[in-house]
């Protein structure tokens, strides 16, 4: 693992933002990637932990509903202890570490202990959550002043740290953090100290996430409305005339897939484009890769084929992974694309074809239908007798392509270019979400993603079908869909074209 060389360890106090994974800063991501230890809170999206190295120590110290995993003084001691071991520590906190995040207290303790530290600000929920609810905190037609206030303090306590009279009458927009439990008292106090009862109020639960819920009212009735809508922490309270702008500027909750929580089972290396498309449409995507791409168990077969490329007339790729691993091995053996000068190249699917194009080669065969049967049909038309064909692919894959080519008289060498294995983590989190009915859809982009998904819940096999009744299943094509149905899953979505883009469009159509 890469670490910054230094005699003493260093602590990075990092704001993780309000929840939307896309709102983490680039600098924060870079620090997590090179951290030796990540100490994280409840409100820090755990998706960020995926950026950490596999050897990074992950320590949860959060609190939820007043239940503390670790006392603050123990957290301070932990940071100092780890830094004393010469380690780089990321202290990952929800929102911004210096906005009601106790980051200042932690920094003071680090100074006392002589521990170097750095603060990486995060996008505080105080500004991000109202923005996602369509509420600008300032607007020249409404107000030029805004105040961030802790709502965690009991408003009616004798020795309050807040000047309620000035807050009520001297600030245009008030933003209360951690105040859902005290909503009625906050509204009462502001009215009592001079704020008009008709002042607009918005309460936003789990802002920037798929579960975002916004309730709008006035100081007079907001507590009742929030209770009726069962608003729960974490949440933000926005008070002021700017709340009226939500009717015009509400953008996030209008996205076509807003509120949908979708699981992506594709290998992490290939999931980014699919994830980005669904996220742009408003879905909250849960990465749950059920396959992991790794090098082959041995390179002998691949190396033998590469050293004898001049004996092949065709090179067929069935996946992007096959392209990547083949050309990487080609380079490792001191060769390049010139070794393919006498060969024709075929690719199943546009993405595989794009990967071949990226290597400076125009594919000679890209069938209209993106599966092995279409390649077989193409060779039936042009003939395959006495052709030597090389297919670099996964260790385990459908045998229809090499078998049918051999029936036509071709000599086919199938070499292992990579392996797909089942990851050994993540199932518990997804299991809990399935049990609670929190997953709206599960997507599968290959038969292996289906098979591994079911295998990862082998001990709950009887329960899985029951849990899946609450979740739609989307498959990229008919082969994947057949595998899903053989495993007892009901397929709700399958596009006509077997691409991620088409699958995204089909999901959008399903929910519209």
- In this predicted model, what pLDDT tens digit does every residue of 189-222 receive, in sequence order? 999 999 999 999 999 999 998 889 999 999 999 9
So what's the architecture of 294-421 in CATH?
3-Layer(aba) Sandwich (3.40)
User: How would you label 123-156 residue by residue, b for 16+ Cβ within 10 Å and e otherwise?
Assistant: bbbbbbbbbbbbbbbebeebbeebbbbebebebe
What tokens does 439 get? Answer: 């997953």
Active site residue 178: yes
User: Taking residues 404-429, what's their average pLDDT?
Assistant: 89
CATH assignment of 127-252, among 3.30.2310.20, 3.30.950.10, 3.30.420.10, 3.30.365.10: 3.30.950.10
Q: Which residue among the candidates 20, 178, 213, 302 is catalytic per the annotation?
A: 178
Specify the 3-state DSSP secondary structure of 477: coil
Q: How confident is the model at residue 151 (pLDDT cuts 50, 70, 90)?
A: confident
How much is the mean pLDDT over the chain?
A: 91
Active site residue 63: yes
Q: What is the pLDDT of residues 72-97, one digit of tens each?
A: 899 999 999 999 999 999 999 999 99
Q: What is the pLDDT of residues 344-353, one digit of tens each?
A: 999 998 889 9
227 has pLDDT over 80 = yes
Which pLDDT score, from 0 to 100, does residue 333 have? Answer: 94
Specify the 3-state DSSP secondary structure of 243: helix
Active site residue 41: yes
Which pLDDT score, from 0 to 100, does residue 23 have? Answer: 94
Q: Which residue among the candidates 29, 63, 211, 431 is catalytic per the annotation?
A: 63
Q: Which residue among the candidates 41, 343, 441, 468 is catalytic per the annotation?
A: 41
10-123 has which fold? Cobalt-precorrin-4 Transmethylase; domain 1 (3.40.1010)
Which pLDDT score, from 0 to 100, does residue 156 have? Answer: 56
Q: What is the pLDDT of residues 470-485, one digit of tens each?
A: 899 999 999 999 999 9
Q: In what order do the strands lie in the sheet with 472-475?
A: 284-287, 261-264, 441-444, 472-475
Q: What is the pLDDT of residues 26-64, one digit of tens each?
A: 999 999 999 999 999 877 777 899 899 989 999 999 876
Question: Do the domains spanning 10-123 and 261-291+423-511 agree at the CATH topology level?
Answer: no
Q: What is the pTM for the complete model shown?
A: 0.79
364 has pLDDT over 50 = yes
CATH of domain 261-291+423-511: 3.40.50.10090
Q: What is the pLDDT of residues 249-278, one digit of tens each?
A: 999 999 999 999 999 998 877 788 899 999
Q: What gap in Å lies between CA 243 and CA 338, rounded to an integer?
A: 64
What are the boundaries of each domain within the chain?
10-123, 127-252, 261-291+423-511, 294-421
């Amino acid at each position: 693992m890469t670490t910054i060389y230094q005699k003493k360890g260093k602590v990075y106090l990092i704001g993780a933002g309000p929840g939307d994974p896309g709102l983490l800063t680039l600098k924060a991501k870079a620090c997590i990637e090179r951290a030796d230890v990540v100490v994280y809170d409840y409100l820090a999206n755990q998706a960020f932990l995926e950026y950490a190295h596999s050897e990074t120590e992950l320590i949860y110290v959060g609190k939820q509903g007043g239940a503390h995993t670790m006392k603050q003084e123990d957290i301070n001691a932990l940071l100092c202890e780890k830094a004393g071991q010469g380690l780089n520590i990321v202290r990952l906190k929800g929102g911004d570490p210096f906005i009601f995040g106790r980051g200042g207290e932690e920094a003071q303790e680090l100074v006392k202990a002589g521990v170097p530290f750095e603060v990486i600000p995060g996008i505080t929920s105080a500004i991000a959550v109202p923005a996602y609810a369509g509420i600008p905190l300032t607007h020249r037609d409404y107000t030029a002043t805004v105040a961030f206030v802790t709502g965690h303090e009991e408003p009616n306590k004798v020795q309050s740290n807040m000047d309620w009279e000035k807050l009520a009458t001297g600030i245009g927009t008030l933003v209360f953090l951690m105040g859902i439990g005290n909503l009625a008292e906050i509204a009462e106090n502001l009215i009592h100290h001079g704020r008009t009862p008709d002042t607009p109020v918005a309460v936003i639960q789990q802002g920037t996430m798929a579960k975002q819920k916004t309730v709008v009212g006035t100081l007079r009735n907001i507590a009742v409305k929030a209770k009726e809508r069962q608003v729960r922490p974490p949440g933000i309270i926005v008070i002021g005339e700017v709340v009226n702008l939500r009717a015009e500027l509400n953008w996030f909750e209008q996205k076509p897939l807003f509120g949908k929580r979708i699981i992506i089972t594709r290998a992490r290396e290939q999931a980014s484009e699919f994830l980005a498309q669904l996220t742009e449409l408003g879905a909250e995507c849960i990465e749950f890769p059920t396959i992991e791409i790794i090098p082959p168990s041995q390179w002998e077969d691949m190396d033998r084929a590469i050293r004898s490329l001049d004996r092949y007339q065709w090179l067929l790729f069935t996946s992007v992974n096959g392209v990547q691993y083949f050309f990487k091995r080609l380079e490792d053996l001191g060769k390049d694309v010139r070794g393919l000068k006498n060969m024709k190249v075929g690719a199943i699917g546009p993405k595989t074809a794009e990967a071949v194009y990226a290597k400076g080669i125009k594919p000679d065969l890209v069938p209209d239908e993106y599966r092995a049967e279409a390649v077989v049909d193409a060779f039936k038309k042009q003939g395959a007798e006495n052709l030597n064909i090389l297919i670099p692919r996964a260790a385990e894959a459908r045998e229809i392509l090499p078998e049918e080519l051999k029936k036509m008289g071709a000599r086919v060498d199938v070499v292992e270019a990579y392996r797909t294995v089942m990851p050994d983590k993540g199932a518990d989190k997804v299991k809990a979400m399935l049990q609670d009915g929190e997953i709206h859809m599960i997507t599968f982009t290959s038969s292996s993603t289906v098979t591994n998904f079911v295998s990862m819940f082998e001990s709950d096999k009887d329960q899985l079908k029951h849990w899946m009744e609450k979740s739609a299943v989307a498959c990229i094509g008919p082969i994947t869909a057949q595998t899903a149905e053989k495993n007892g899953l009901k397929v709700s979505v399958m596009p006509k074209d077997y691409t991620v883009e088409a699958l995204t469009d089909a999901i959008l159509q399903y929910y519209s």
